[in-house]
Chain A
Amino acid sequence: MSIHVQNIAKRFGHFVALDNVTLDFPTGELVGLLGPSGCGKTTLLRIIAGLESADSGQVFLEGEDASAAHVRERQVGFVFQHYALFRHMTVFDNVAFGLRVKPRGQRPAADKIRQRVSELLDLVQLNALANRYPTQLSGGQRQRIALARALAVEPRVLLLDEPFGALDAKVRKELRRWLRTLHDALHITSIFVTHDQEEALEVSDRVAVMNQGRVEQIGTPAQVYEHPATPFVYSFLGAVNLFHGRVQGPHLQVGADQVRLDHHGFETGAETLGFVRPHELDIVTDLSERSGIEARVERVLALGATARVELTSVGHDQTGRFFEVELSHERMAALRLDTGQRVRLQPARIRLFAPEAPPVELTA
């Protein structure tokens, strides 16, 4: 079922949680709502579920205005970060809850309920734990039970609020792969909220990046990662190096140094912010090279698939700025860098934004 939210606004006192948000969630897609804490993503999810009411704007479920409908009537499955399992009920009773509270006419017979719960427990691979209590389960198991419970009532939409937020790194990875497989099997329209960009990019069909109550960009993971629409999206979706500079024809002048630019829409003399991902920077040790920004090597970390180099700027007007470069081990071996060495940084790709955009925070 498709979801459409139209001009949703919500304030908490003076804090604007949602500022005129309009978004489309097409049928059968798994959409990630991504943003830093306080950006309004959870509030939006709760408004779609009917757990919170918007100050203005509407929620359409399958084209129908559901803004006034109670959460009971919206047929949404909601999964909380901290599972919200009923602690006094067994796993079985938790999953059966939604079926047992149905009005007498619609309530399935006891053996039908047993069969349905058993199917769901098979789906989340926890049938062996049907008689356990939630406190006897691990975090990952609890979240799978919470999901099975939400699916029991055959919701038209599945809403997940930071579903893996309380789990440790390994279980998180496992569960998100599992969620993706589950979604491919069920094709139920789903929205999940996360502040973890890796999680959003890996699991979602599409990602909506939110900041300060607004949607900054919506697109496929590849689109938002490769072509960020705003400086915020750029810096939120991964590590980034920032260069303040002035456009000089086909060059960007950064302090005393300059780097080559590809075609760009800026006029000569325009102040801009250049964004470069760590893997898009190369290091040259020959300081007589005309192109490239001079920097000092501070630390070399040769762990994992790629090697990382941390540097600081040395230009007189940018002293102390921090850069991060990702190189292959082969390139690293060829360069033979020493701590304290002066080098030049050459971006293979640089993305320019006008500086009037609000200053962005670098979030790892």
Chain B
Amino acid sequence: MGVWTARRVLPGFPLALGYTLIYLSLIVLIPISAVFLKAATQGWESFWAAISTPRVVASYQLTYGVSLLAAAINVVFGLILAWVLVRYHFPGRRIVDALVDLPFALPTAVAGIALTAIYAGNGWLGQWLQPLGIKVAFTPLGILVALIFIGLPFVVRTVQPVLEDLETELEETAASLGADRWQTFYRVVLPPVLPALLTGFALAFARAVGEYGSVIFIAGNVPMVSEITPLLIITKLEQFDYPGATAIAAVMLVTSFILLFLINGLQAWANRSHPGGTA
């Protein structure tokens, strides 16, 4: 009895589950296991040596640190952007709305080159920032800018539909009960939006960790300073050091999985503490 044999109203459970498992295996699990298998062909010492050199460890810190920061920044400004798009009607709103998706569509290398051109010491923005002592291109700050750029649509697009479902009457009620703008925001608006905001954060973060194309142009790729982990993997591949490349990739996979798992847990918690939130 149980899940497998019980008669159910919704048809097709065995077929749907079978399809899901096969699809997931072909597309996700088998390629990922290949990474682990390849990484395991070497001995433990060489695996450890590949993943623990100071240069590699510095790249982990850079990649995950800047990715988290970029996703956090996107949460704040993505929420504001989504809010403006949902709540206000102004000329050109549709154009702004379409612009949000652009980082999705643009080849990331194009984005990287464009950002580098603008933020370089002689670029449009760079030439004004340089005298202030702010160097963007070829520093970790440049990586941050690129990762914010590519992560923005994730937050906006996950939060937008939830905000659209949030009646303005709720805010009007809060105001009529004496709440000020800030109280209305954190007591009435934020709680229902929080799960979507966390999803947006997770997506933007995951995208940032794996980002390669836009970052390598603007980062300058200085070892120990502005070299991201995906670049290290490519470098090793180019040197035909497949075990070394897969070893680092395996570390990235495990770390990303753990972090995403934690964010999902946070999301489940946010949903549980506001059970009416999605109804």
Residues of chain A having any CB pair with chain B under 8 Å:
49-51, 70-72, 74, 76-78, 80, 82, 84, 86-89, 97-98, 101-102, 133-135, 149-150, 152-153
Contacts and interface: CB of A to CB of B under 8 A. Distances in A.
Interface hub of A74, A86, A102, A153 (most chain B Cβ within 10 A): A86
A134 to B, nearest CB: 6
Contacts of A74: 176
Measured as residues with beta carbon below 8 angstroms from the partner, the interface class of chain B is: 20 to 34
Interface in B256-279: 274-277, 279
A72 B170 contact: no
B241 interface: no
B93 interface: no
A297 to B, nearest CB: 49
A287 to B, nearest CB: 59
Given A51-B172, A80-B169, A97-B187, A88 B178 contact: no
B179 A87 contact: no
Interface hub of A50, A72, A88 (most chain B Cβ within 10 A): A88
B268 to A, nearest CB: 15
Nearest to B175: A71
5 closest cross-chain pairs (CB), A and B = A87-B276, A98-B177, A88-B274, A84-B169, A135-B279
A71 B179 CA distance: 10
A71 B188 contact: no
B135 to A, nearest CB: 44
Given A72-B178, A153-B178, 19 more contacts: A49-B176, A50-B176, A70-B175, A71-B176, A72-B179, A72-B180, A80-B172, A80-B173, A82-B167, A86-B170, A86-B187, A87-B274, A87-B277, A97-B177, A97-B187, A98-B179, A149-B177, A150-B176, A152-B177
Interface hub of B170, B175, B177, B191 (most chain A Cβ within 10 A): B177
Interface string B158-176: 0000000001011011111
Contacts of B178: 72, 98, 101-102, 153
A341 B159 CA distance: 67
9 contacts: A71-B176, A72-B178, A82-B169, A84-B169, A88-B274, A88-B276, A88-B277, A101-B183, A133-B275
A86 B172 CA distance: 12
A101 B276 contact: no
Interface hub of A51, A82, A87, A133 (most chain B Cβ within 10 A): A87
Nearest to A78: B176
Contact of B192 (A70, A71, A78, A87): A87
A76 B276 contact: no
Nearest to A149: B177
